């Protein structure tokens, strides 16, 4: 951890507990800041309070009183708290700096950073890069939106490490000087517009991943995504494209049925085990990032030929009663579900539905050609039912994902694919996509141990 005198003996307000707030509060306390943590939930619902107060950190629960700003010189904001929050808007009026903990992690990390963002594929790519950097000169540490808080990892990281961070637009929006050594921008799709307010502001948040990069840094980007390819031209970083369509000697690409990086053959496509054309894109991006961060060809190829996926991200659950079952609960938007559907040629029973963000699903229509039955649940049940009826697809309505899993097996046959790929966020019925995916997995496990009526 690098010293950070900027916060020593300064009043810092950590807004929102959860994992990122807890990690930021602990780190700031170690750095000598006078820390106050504020959370909107009642004290009884915040189990972290006692542990923080034992360290001498003040905790204010049950609301966001504006008087907390009177002595505050810096705010570390939980990424999930919108900028429309009254305390945040008042802080902006007072010109109080507002960061997410990713900025704090960057300020104190001794290790170089590989930062990965995009609308889809972040977790798979981050996991791949981390695995590809094993056995390189510097030990990789994985963190960010993938689960482990970046600040917690930054506290322990040294120059002998490299931090591989998955970063959401929520996290990037609250950065100021953040500058990775290698950045990856995978793609851009309309997502989280309810949070950002417009597509332009969403793009602006994503673009912060390269805002401070220089020629000595590397920006890996999709040359196949016209929006991404256009916006990265503003960057001062060395641009490194990847493409499944073009042979790009300065980046990662497909040639002679193999993955290449800068004219060097890395791995034949027929030795890769992870399904899906979109995962080829993730692998190309991962190869480029790993090579630029010091990964070895041997380890990169080992990962490409053995990696079978990440939990909740087109995860192969198993062959259950003759059905191939996949858990893609992470597919929280239409683009992700389209990518999942494109991975299969067999007949599919698709489980979809969730939070209604106001969008329609007509864009999904061309991808439903192999879907024989659509099992729908959640707030978008009615919209998806209308789409299925319009396309002549058998539609089955369910209460939740557990009920949907049971009905999917009832309406499927041997050799079918049973695919949970909701095309919606989970927050109408589940607190996270992981919780939704775990509920699906638990139901499938129960079904696998029961007699199925054909």
pLDDT in tens, 301-350: 999 999 988 889 888 898 999 999 999 999 999 988 998 999 898 999 99
197 pLDDT more than 80: no
Look at residue 192 in the predicted model and tell me its pLDDT.
Answer: 56
Domain boundaries, the chain: 10-99, 103-304, 315-448
Domains 103-304 and 315-448 share a fold: no
pLDDT tier at 195, thresholds 50, 70, 90? low
**Can you say which residues are annotated as belonging to the binding site for ATP?**
118-124
Look at residue 452 in the predicted model and tell me its pLDDT.
Answer: 62
pLDDT tier at 291, thresholds 50, 70, 90? very high
Q: Which fold would CATH assign to domain 315-448?
A: 3.90.190
pLDDT in tens, 45-102: 878 899 999 999 999 999 999 999 999 999 999 988 989 999 999 999 999 999 999 9
**Can you say which residues are annotated as belonging to the binding site?**
118-124
Q: Which fold would CATH assign to domain 103-304?
A: 3.40.1190
Look at residue 199 in the predicted model and tell me its pLDDT.
Answer: 84
Look at residue 44 in the predicted model and tell me its pLDDT.
Answer: 85
Look at residue 104 in the predicted model and tell me its pLDDT.
Answer: 96
191 pLDDT more than 60: no
Look at residue 144 in the predicted model and tell me its pLDDT.
Answer: 92
Look at residue 354 in the predicted model and tell me its pLDDT.
Answer: 98
Please, are residues 332 and 354 in contact by the beta-carbon 8 Å criterion?
A: yes
pLDDT in tens, 12-55: 999 998 889 999 999 999 999 999 999 998 988 878 899 999 99
Look at residue 450 in the predicted model and tell me its pLDDT.
Answer: 84
434 pLDDT more than 60: yes
408 pLDDT more than 90: yes
CA separation for the pair 398, 400 (Å, rounded): 6
Please, are residues 278 and 121 in contact by the beta-carbon 8 Å criterion?
A: yes
Share of the chain above pLDDT 70, in %: 98
Look at residue 415 in the predicted model and tell me its pLDDT.
Answer: 95
454 pLDDT more than 60: no
Look at residue 217 in the predicted model and tell me its pLDDT.
Answer: 98
Mean pLDDT of 124-128: 95
pLDDT tier at 453, thresholds 50, 70, 90? low
Please, are residues 130 and 147 in contact by the beta-carbon 8 Å criterion?
A: no
427 pLDDT more than 60: yes
Share of the chain above pLDDT 90, in %: 83
Look at residue 203 in the predicted model and tell me its pLDDT.
Answer: 92
pLDDT tier at 276, thresholds 50, 70, 90? confident
Please, are residues 220 and 251 in contact by the beta-carbon 8 Å criterion?
A: yes
CATH of 10-99, one of 3.40.50.300, 3.20.20.70, 1.10.110.30, 3.40.50.720: 3.40.50.720
193 pLDDT more than 60: no
């Amino acid at each position: 951890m690098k010293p950070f005198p900027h916060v020593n003996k300064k009043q810092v307000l950590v807004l929102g507990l959860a994992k990122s707030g807890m990690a930021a509060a602990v780190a700031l306390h170690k750095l000598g800041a006078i820390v106050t943590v504020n959370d909107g939930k009642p004290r009884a619902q915040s189990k972290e309070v006692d542990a923080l107060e034992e360290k001498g950190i003040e905790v204010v629960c049950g609301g966001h009183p504006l008087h907390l700003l009177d002595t505050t010189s810096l705010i570390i904001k939980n990424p999930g708290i919108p900028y429309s929050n009254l305390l945040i808007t008042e802080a902006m009026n007072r010109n109080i700096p507002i960061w997410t903990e990713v900025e704090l992690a960057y300020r104190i990390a001794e290790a170089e950073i590989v930062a990965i963002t995009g609308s889809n594929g972040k977790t798979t790519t981050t996991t791949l890069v981390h695995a590809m950097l094993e056995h390189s000169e510097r030990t990789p540490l994985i963190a960010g939106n993938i689960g482990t808080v970046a600040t917690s990892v930054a506290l322990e990281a040294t120059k002998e490490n490299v931090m591989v961070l998955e970063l959401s637009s929520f996290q990037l929006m609250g950065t100021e000087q953040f500058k990775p050594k290698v950045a990856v921008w995978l793609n851009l799709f309309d997502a989280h517009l309810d949070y950002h307010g417009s597509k332009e502001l969403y793009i602006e948040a994503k673009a912060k991943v390269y805002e401070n990069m220089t020629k000595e840094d590397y920006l890996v980007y999709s040359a196949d995504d016209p929006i991404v390819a256009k916006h990265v031209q503003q960057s001062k970083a060395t641009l490194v494209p990847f493409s499944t369509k073009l042979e790009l000697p300065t980046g990662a690409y497909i040639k002679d049925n193999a993955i290449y990086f800068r004219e060097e053959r890395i791995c034949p496509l027929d030795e890769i085990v992870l399904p899906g054309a979109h995962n080829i894109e993730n692998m190309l991006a991962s190869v480029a990032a790993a090579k630029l961060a010091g990964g070895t060809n041997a380890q990169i190829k080992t990962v490409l030929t053995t990696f079978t996926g990440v939990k909740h991200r087109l995860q192969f659950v198993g062959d259950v009663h003759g059905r191939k079952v996949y858990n893609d609960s992470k597919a929280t938007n239409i683009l992700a579900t389209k990518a999942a559907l494109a991975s299969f040629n067999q007949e599919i029973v698709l489980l979809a539905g969730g939070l209604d963000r106001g969008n329609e699903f007509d864009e999904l229509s061309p991808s439903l050609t192999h879907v024989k039955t659509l099992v729908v649940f959640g707030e978008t049940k009615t919209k998806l039912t209308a789409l299925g009826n319009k396309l002549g697809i058998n539609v089955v309505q369910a209460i939740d994902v557990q009920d949907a899993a049971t009905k999917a097996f009832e309406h499927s046959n041997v050799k079918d694919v049973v695919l949970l790929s909701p095309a919606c966020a989970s927050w109408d019925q589940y607190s996270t996509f992981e919780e939704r995916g775990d509920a699906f997995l638990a139901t499938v496990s129960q079904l696998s141990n029961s007699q199925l009526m054909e």
